[in-house]
Amino acid sequence: MNPEVQTMVIRQDENRSNGIGTAGFVLSLMAIFVSWIPIFGWFVWFIGLVLSFIGLFKAPRGLAIAGLVISLIGVIILIVFVGAILVAAGMSQ
């Protein structure tokens, strides 16, 4: 007697993640909160922007796109902040 041979196929879905895009998102989010610190906030913002941009070329892109949008909002806040400082410095003279 031949015992029945059963072949089992186990399919494991690969968890796809975008570590660079996630890091860019986190740094961009941190940059919003530390944007009032002149050098450190700018550095964190720039690194978040670069990592989010690099993350756009890998799948999934969701957090990379969110990081890029938050970085652009951060640069607007940065421009307004620096502009307010320059206006305040000009009015005090």
Residue 85 located in a structural domain: yes
> How confident is the model at residue 53, as a pLDDT?
95
Identify the domain containing residue 37 by its residue range.
19-91
Which of 24, 16, 91, 3 lies closest to 60 in space, CA to CA? 16
Residue 36 lies in a domain: yes
Residue-wise pLDDT tens digits, 29-62? 998 888 777 788 889 989 999 999 999 999 899 9
- 9 within domain boundaries: no
In a domain, 82, yes or no: yes
Q: What angle do CA 20, 50, 19 make, to 5 degrees?
A: 5
- Our count of domains for the chain comes to 1
pTM attached to this predicted model: 0.75
Give domain status of residue 74, yes or no: yes
